[in-house]
Chain A
Amino acid sequence: MKLRYKRLGLILGAVALVAVAIGLVLNAFQSNIVFFYTPTQIVNGEVPKETSFRIGGMVLEGSLKRQDDGLTVQFAVTDTVNVVPVTYTGILPDLFKEGKGVVAQGALDSQGRFVASNVLAKHDENYMPPEAAEALKRAKVTQSPAVQPDGSNS
Chain B
Amino acid sequence: MTGINWFKYAAPQTFFHLSGKWIPVLGWIAFFLAIAGLYIGFFIAPTDFQQGEAYRIIFIHVPAAWMSMVIYLAMAFWAAIGLVFNTRLSAMMALALAPTGALFTALALITGSFWGKPTWGTWWVWDARLTSELILLFLYVGFIALHASIDNPQRADRAAAIIAIVGALNVPIIYFSVQWWNTLHQGASINVASAPKMAVTMLIGMLVMTLASWAYSVAVALFRVRCIILERERHAAWVNDLKEVKS
Contact = CB atoms under 8 A, between A and B. Distances in A.
Task: Tell whether A and B belong to one assembly.
Answer: yes
A24 interface: no
A135 to B, nearest CB: 10
Contacts of B202: 127
A7 B47 contact: no
B189 A34 contact: no
A129 B201 CA distance: 10
Interface residues of B, number: 38
Interface residues of A, number: 41
B55 interface: yes
Interface string B155-173: 0000000000110110001
B192 interface: no
Interface string B190-218: 00000001110010000000000000000
Contacts of A103: 184
A35 B49 contact: no
A2 interface: no
B49 A123 contact: no
Interface stretch (B1-9, B63-71, B79-87, B228-236): B79-87
20 contacts: A11-B80, A14-B165, A18-B166, A34-B181, A35-B184, A37-B182, A56-B184, A103-B184, A120-B121, A120-B122, A123-B120, A125-B186, A127-B202, A128-B46, A129-B199, A130-B47, A132-B199, A133-B49, A133-B50, A134-B49
Interface in A13-38: 14-15, 18-19, 22, 26, 33-38
B118 to A, nearest CB: 6
Given A15-B165, A95-B50, A128-B198, A123 B84 contact: no
Nearest to A38: B182
Contacts of B189: 125-127
Given A11-B80, A125-B189, A127-B202, A35 B119 contact: no
B10 interface: no
A129 B50 CA distance: 9
Given A35-B182, A35-B184, 8 more contacts: A4-B84, A11-B84, A11-B165, A95-B121, A118-B122, A123-B120, A126-B198, A128-B199
B51 interface: yes
B13 interface: no
Contact of B83 (A11, A56, A94, A130): A11
A4 B85 CA distance: 6
A interface, over-half SS: mixed
Interface in A88-121: 92-96, 100, 103, 118-121
A130 B55 CA distance: 13
Contacts of B58: 127
B145 interface: no
Interface in A37-70: 37-38, 56
A96 B169 CA distance: 36
B198 A18 contact: no
Contacts of B187: 124-125
B127 A35 contact: yes
B119 A129 contact: no
Contacts of A122: 120, 184, 186
B159 to A, nearest CB: 14
B146 to A, nearest CB: 17
B49 A128 contact: yes
Nearest to A128: B199
A127 B198 contact: yes
